[in-house]
Amino acid sequence: MVTTRAPKKRAASPAIDDADGALPQKRPSRAKKAPPAPPASDENEDDDDELMQQQAPPKKRGRAPGKAKDSPVDDDDEDVPPKKPATKGKGKAKASDTKDEDEVTPETFKAVPKYERTKKAVADGQYAKVDNLVVPVDEACSLSSAGWRVYIDDNDGIIYDASLNQTNSSGNNNKFYKVQILTDGRNFRTWTRWGRVGATGQSAQLGDGSLGSAMKEFEKKFKDKAALTWANRGAAPKPGKYVFLEKDYQESEEDEEPEELAGPSTQKAGRSRSSSPVKSKLNPRVASLLELIFNQEHMDSVMADMNYDVKKMPLGKLSKATITRGYNQLKLLNDLFDDPSLATDLHGMNSVAEATEHLSNLYYSYIPHNFGRNRAPVISNHQRLKNEIILLESLTDLKDADSIIKAGNDTNSVHVLDSQFQSLGLQETTPIDRATDEFSHISDYLINSRGSTHGHEYKLIDVFRIERQGENDRFERSHSKRTASDRRLLWHGSRSTNYGGILSQGLRIAPPEAPVSGYMFGKGIYLADMASKSANYCNSYASGGHALLLLCEAELGDPMQELVDASYDAGNDALAKGLLSTWGQGAVGPALWKDASCVHPSLAGVQMPDTVTKPPGDTTVLDACLEYNEYICYNVDQVRLRYLLRVKM
């Protein structure tokens, strides 16, 4: 065995029960929030400097709207002094005495060809990639019911719809700004809406009805708020300015929740918005499983627990680029925790606290959160960082589940549950008869591998033998290259709402952008030989007390890298030694192993704990800082899903 032991002695404090750095499951009492501080302003944080024309139809082309007596002023950016009202007869007052060299003005706008205005765009998601794409008008605009739509340039496919966000923790700002060019085919208007996240805010329509005027107003507003030209919208955000949120426009637009205005979704899994005219052909146990996995209320509950603002950025609109940018900010925070000198050397800040808040603000701006009237908490330690990593991981799986739900709602020829099942792409989903030895052995493994530090009570509802399309071939090809094999049947737990992504895409390893310190033994697939340890990560309180657990066949390789304490570089260290996995050795574990062919013939040669003959107990591992064993695989090819258990906890 290749062994790497930490030099320190076993701590006197209780061993850590931690799969990957997260705290054991507890029903959140809702995270402690900072005392509410009165914001500098509420819905008027971002008041527009044009006439508010909410709920008013556009005027005829060529007639610019007049100024209202009490028109709100666009003074939300704290670093910009309020504008003075224009004196009648002397023209509109300038917002600033200086201009950036690339600022959009009526003269420069007309002089620059359309292609030149857009060729530097790097926000790939802002382009229409499908024919006849319809981007809906903001729900707060009365034009949404009058046949108007968001303008898409026919020449280059650019979608003129911009969502911007800005969070400033110390200033208790958490606000949005939305700007769209709207058209009915002949007339064009620029629509803006702004306010605190979670509120409807205020709005205005701008322009004289022509495309040129609407384009000018759109680009000017974007530049005012982001300090970037529209053509350069994908560039790094400017300090103290709004962050542009790139969207994914390829989802079904009609199914999206309206931003800021939507209440909790009431759609239930297993029922389309128009009642399905056909009956499901699924086994009732499989159908019930899908109703749990794709339960919209459970998804809403999970996102609310994590403070994610689904109204600001619906899952269907959340782009991979936006999630990646969120990971990047967390990685910068992690680097700052490890090397405080980066506050000055890299970020140009006067202190670590200032740099930490700056990076936290950027993260919250990319990944919208709803903290109500409370300040956004600064991500100032590794646990807060880990919580946000969990959020981004969940959003990846939830986005996959959301896509499957929408695909199921788009058809009337197949029952919605049957459509969702087909979208999972599973090669096998076999409900196991409770009277069989197969069910009995799995039940024994579940019930008898419960740690004494865990208070879980189980009721095994269902067991499904599963196989993902192509996963067995991939696993066998990987296994055939190994001369020394160590295959085991191990547990993995996750929220029920994550299983739409897990079953359709497989278990995934964190992307390169994720900070490695968020994972106790590096980035990998974390497995356990004690069911209760994996059950800690199911968060059954958010899904009506129901949990889903996986039994996975894992090729660990022989030998494994053995560690008794956390090492964020464990993955790189194992690969450098030519090893496939890490065994995080715990103080408690199985006392005896047996061949898993007793469960099913296809598991011959795979080891599983013999919890009936000899229950788990002390491992006698010296210096173990973990309470229970952890097994970490660093390549997805090493793991294949074998069974899915539905458990009432």
Strand pairing of 2-3 and 161-168? unpaired
> What is the token pair recorded at 616?
């788990």
Q: What span, in angstroms and rounded, lies between the C-alpha atoms of 328 and 322?
A: 10
In contact, 137 and 191? CB cutoff 8 Å: yes
Reported as type and span, the H/E element at residue 644 is: strand 639-648
Q: Which long-range contacts (CB under 8 A, 24 or more apart) does 405-410 make?
A: 405/269, 405/294, 405/296, 405/500, 406/251, 406/252, 406/255, 406/316, 408/272, 408/294, 409/252, 409/255, 409/272, 409/273, 410/252
DSSP label of 63:
-
- Catalytic, 630? Answer yes
In contact, 370 and 312? CB cutoff 8 Å: yes
Q: What span, in angstroms and rounded, lies between the C-alpha atoms of 261 and 312?
A: 9
Show Cβ contacts of residue 79 under 8 Å, excluding neighbours closer than 6 positions. 240
- What is the C-alpha R_g of the chain? 28
> What is the token pair recorded at 160?
């003129």
Strand partners, 446: none
Q: What span, in angstroms and rounded, lies between the C-alpha atoms of 33 and 130?
A: 43
Q: In the β-sheet with 586-589, what is the strand arrangement from edge to edge?
A: 617-618, 586-589, 626-628
Q: What are the angstrom distances between the C-alpha of 272 and each of 268, 284, 413, 416?
A: 8, 18, 12, 6
Residues, the chain = 649
The dihedrals phi and psi of 207, each to the nearest 5 degrees, come to 105, 165
SS3 state at 77: coil
Q: What span, in angstroms and rounded, lies between the C-alpha atoms of 381 and 407?
A: 40
> What would the 3-class secondary structure string for 395-458 be?
HHHHHHHHHHHHHHHCCCCCCHHHHHHHHHCEEEEEECCCCCHHHHHHHHHHHHCCCCCCCCCC
Chain centre distance of CA 419: 24
Q: Write down the catalytic residue from 246, 393, 555, 630.
A: 630
Residue numbers annotated as active site: 630
